[in-house]
Structure 1
Amino acid sequence: MYDVLWAAGVGLFLLLLLWPTRSTGKRLLKSWEVPDPTLVQIDDAVRYLKRRRLLYPWLYVGLSFLPIASGRGVGSLAATVLGGTLLAELIATQLHREGSRRVASLTPRGLFDIASQYVLIAYAAIVAIGVTVLLVTLRIEQLPVLVVSVAAVAVITWAAVARPADGDEQVDRALRTRSVHVSAGLGAAVVGALVGGGFGLFCVLAWIAMANTHYVSKKIFW
């Protein structure tokens, strides 16, 4: 019961602390290479952020029932928060604006058209190291959590490439790139939380770097 209340409290705290406003949406778009966003574009960004934030308390509570998230240690809390945030990104990317119409792109979209290859290579390397460490140290029970996090990152990345365009072109492209980079960073942090130690700190730094790696493709899809 304590774990559930703790997870719910953290989720509600982050929901209130990070509740998006128009200034938040404008700052997000500017940081992802939309230089002078309009009010409509800002509203699209705010809607995207709200989808994620509203899921935090529910997902944190749900994950608190898993064995890897039980307990009161920092590692358990990190696994719950990072895993829930990653799943929130996954769910949010599958939703689209009410009343909008998704449109298939005229030009085929490739993964490296929307995401940095360095971010993806770094994430793959971190996962490989994490799997190796868990196997060598015989922490096999933690591998399912890592596999689920990798699957979530893979689905988010696939959806960013494959899903039809939704809403404004600039915002759509910026949020696709952000989803891939942020999910890769969160996935790296999950690996770090499972492995722990100095590698865990390195993964947190990698998360920050990935989530702030901006990438703009010159390819036009619409």
Structure 2
Amino acid sequence: MRVLLDMVIAAGVGLLLLMALWPTQSTGRRLLKSWRVQDPTPAQIDDAIRYLKRRRVLYPVLYAVLTLVPLVSGQGIGSLAAIVLAGTLLAELIATQLHRGGTQRVASLTPRGLFDIANQYVLIAYAVIVVIGLVVLVVDLRIGQIPALVVSVGAVTLVMWAAVARPADGDETVDRALRTRSVHVSAGLGAAVVGALAGGGFVFAGLLAWIAMSNTNYVAKKIFW
């Protein structure tokens, strides 16, 4: 009975976030402008809306499923926050693998590296936060939480790999901007997960890192298409 209640609560939180964050034309326009797509066209805005929808519709299901995972499940606000962070990161990972029907993916003719689409300081900061989190868990003898840290790092790594490796999808300018956003947002979510696992003041630091990384921009120096 308790498990079912936890699933309902988590799914309810996901539904609330889905309704509150449901993408609109203004949301898509604002997202593109924040990632330096000037004067986005209606088609570009549609690409941005589709990008957000593919992630957010997964929230209720993933949050509910994660209540069954011992690494993040439990009782209290802390556990619910961990489920939301982990579920949001997992939604980002799954959504990066989805392809918009009716479009043709185009492979890059120029080799693309992670530092070509992402801010190096975001990547370095994330790596430092992971190391600090690992040290805190080891020093505090909370070895049982290290697998959760490893899983979160693996998810972030997979999102970054997908952002680099996947072929272009849809509008080239929008695809490049959203590719960068995926890397930065996943790194920020990963940092927040590390902070939640470390506990104490690290929780607040992780949330600040999430906000900072998710709003740090980058303009690629190479032309890939």
The TM-score normalised by the length of structure 2 is 0.96
Counterpart residue number, 2:222? 219
2:84 to 77, 81, 84: 81
Between the aligned partners of 1:111 and 1:155, the Cα distance in structure 2 is 12
Percent identity of equivalent pairs: 75
Equivalent in the alignment of 1:168: 171
Residue number among 190, 195, 215 corresponding to 1:187 in the alignment: 190
Q: Retained in 2: the 8 A contact 1:134–1:143? A: yes
Runs (4 or more) in structure 1 with deviation over 6 Å come to: none
- In 2, Cα distance between equivalents of 1:195 and 1:139: 9
Q: Which residue of the other structure, out of 9, 12, 18, is the alignment partner of 1:9?
A: 12
**1:148 aligned to 139, 146, 151, which one?**
151
8 Å Cα contact 2:122-2:213 kept in structure 1? yes
Instruction: Report the alpha carbon displacement of residue 145 of structure 1 after superposing the two structures with TM.
Output: 1.2
User: How far off its partner does 1:110 sit?
Assistant: 1.2
**Alpha-carbon distance between aligned partners in 1 of 2:185 and 2:73, rounded to the nearest angstrom:** 25
1:116 paired residue number? 119
| Alpha-carbon distance between aligned partners in 2 of 1:168 and 1:55, rounded to the nearest angstrom | 24
For residues 215 and 176 of structure 2, the distance between their equivalents in structure 1, rounded to whole angstroms, comes to 16
- Pick aligned residue for 1:35 from 35, 38, 56: 38
Query: Cα deviation per residue 1:12-41 (whole Å; 9 max; x = unaligned)?
Result: 100111000111111100000101100000
Distance (whole Å) between structure 2 residues aligned to residue 11 and residue 19 of structure 1: 12
Matched letter for residue 81 of structure 2: A
C-alpha distance in structure 2 between counterparts of 1:197 and 1:35, whole Å: 41
Letter in 2 for 1:165: A
Please state whether the residue corresponding to 2:90 is helix, strand or coil.
Answer: helix
Gaps spanning 5+ residues in structure 1: where?
Answer: none
Partner of 1:125: 128
Distance in structure 2 (CA, Å) of the matches to 1:70 and 1:165? 36
* Structure 1 stretch displaced more, 67-76 or 126-135: 67-76
Tell whether the 8 Å contact from 1:75 to 1:196 is kept in structure 2 after alignment: no
Contact 1:102 1:166 (8 Å CA) reproduced? yes
Structure 2 unaligned blocks of 5 or more: none
Aligned-partner Cα distance in 2 for 1:53–1:59: 10
Shift of 1:67: 2.1
CA contact (8 A) 2:72 2:148 kept: no
Could you report, residue by residue, the CA deviation over 1:147-175 in whole angstroms, capped at 9, with x for unpaired residues? 11100100110111111111111000001
SS at match of 1:78: helix
In structure 2, how many angstroms separate the alpha carbons of the residues matched to 1:205 and 1:214? Answer: 16
1:138 matched to 2:126? The reply is: no
